[in-house]
Amino acid sequence: MAEIVVLGAGLGGTIMAYELADRLGQNHNISVVNQGSKYQFVPSNPWVAVGWRTEEATSVDLVPVFAKRGITLHSQGARRLDPVAKQIELMDGGTVRYDYLVIATGPELAFDEIEGFGPEGNTQSVCHVSHALQAKEAFDRLLANPGPVVIGAVQGASCFGPAYEFTFILDKALRDAKVRDRVPMTFVTSEPYIGHLGLDGVGDTKGLLESELRQHHIKWICNAKLDRAEADKLHVTELAEDGSVKKTHEIPQSFTMMLPAFRGVEAVRGIEGLTNPRGFILVDKHQRNPTFPEVFSVGVCVAIPPMGPTPVPVGVPKTGFMIESMVTATTHNIARLIEGQEPNAEGTWNAVCLADFGDGGVAFVAQPQIPPRNVNWSSSGKWVHAAKIGFEKYFLHKVRTGKAESFYEKLALHVLGIQKLKEISVDPE
């Protein structure tokens, strides 16, 4: 009987545990190590930050669900992984051993790399529900005393979609409150151009998003590096294409939400052979670490090199369908190892994204996520907002009921008119 441990219970980790339970049944032990016992649907956080959702509506208590599925939950959280001893030290001093480990921790948020940046400084975040709740308090203050707003993503960021989402969601909330006319808005991003998204664009995301910004009277600055965040202004350096300083900006702000750069979590960061210098997990095409072959990884914590050089560092995002393909491939490969065979499944790493804009939105499909692509498509319309709401409800239902069915194939891909995307590619014997 094998001991399989999943480290992290976010989107990737929770679905990973469910898929392993489906594939392996009661013949093997499946455990999850997580900080706390709640799953929180991160894509809803921009709505939480303007009061359109509550924490309770977007969270799931995993204790009864895991118990129903026969999955053991260690909610103390991980202090440190020891891949040589094949065990995890827990925060309470206990240990969990494993035969196979799937690291699905998500990232650590690197707010401390910029002076005055983050929820403990002078800016807001929607990366965690606690941050979104704090942003809601700041939003309420903005409504009472309107002033300049800055939204965007800093140097090294790799997740740009939520920045665009929150820009237009906030715009809609301010219009609903009849104060938008007193709130100048600026989008500040490390991307080399609007709609780059860390992917060198998908379809016409550049044209679509520039048009949306213009129509909503939002100015923008690209190739931007945040130097310092003060209570009433941001210090930003705009770089030219050759990396030289093009212009420096002092941008007044009453409310700022900028997405941070990510790094690996402390429990795994700095383990030689396991992580890159930023603490992300090194994996091969089978999601398997080359140094520790019993360790796999899925999700945002996986190391993916950037698309190419840019004046300001820009990372590559890991979208939901891409993570789903990683999960399915990993489940398949662990099952083969248990059966005495070698891994042969690869995630296709296709990207499907629904970016909600409050009363509209932009959707894109990239197959594969890294160009050149077989499918390179984007579109916009009010249907995206409806599809995002449906996706939220459907996915939370799946988490609450302990099922691992492919939520994108059953909902988002159907809405987008895509017949079928292969979840994994299996090498011939």
Catalytic residues: 159, 353
The answer to whether 367 and 375 have CB atoms below 8 angstroms apart is: yes
The answer to whether 137 and 41 have CB atoms below 8 angstroms apart is: no
394 class by beta-carbon count within 10 Å (0-12 exposed, 13-18 middle, 19+ buried): middle
**Helix, strand, coil shares, percent, the chain, to 5:** 30, 25, 40
The residues with which 26 forms a beta bridge, in sequence order, are: none
The answer to whether 342 and 334 have CB atoms below 8 angstroms apart is: no
Query: Which of 262, 271, 307 shows the shortest CA–CA distance to 289?
Result: 271
Alpha-helical (H) ranges within 240-342 are 320-338
Q: How many CB atoms lie within 10 A of CB 136?
A: 19
Number of helices and strands in the chain (H, E): 10, 24
Query: What is the rounded distance in angstroms from the CA atom of residue 335 to the CA atom of residue 201?
Result: 36
Query: What is the rounded distance in angstroms from the CA atom of residue 189 to the CA atom of residue 94?
Result: 43
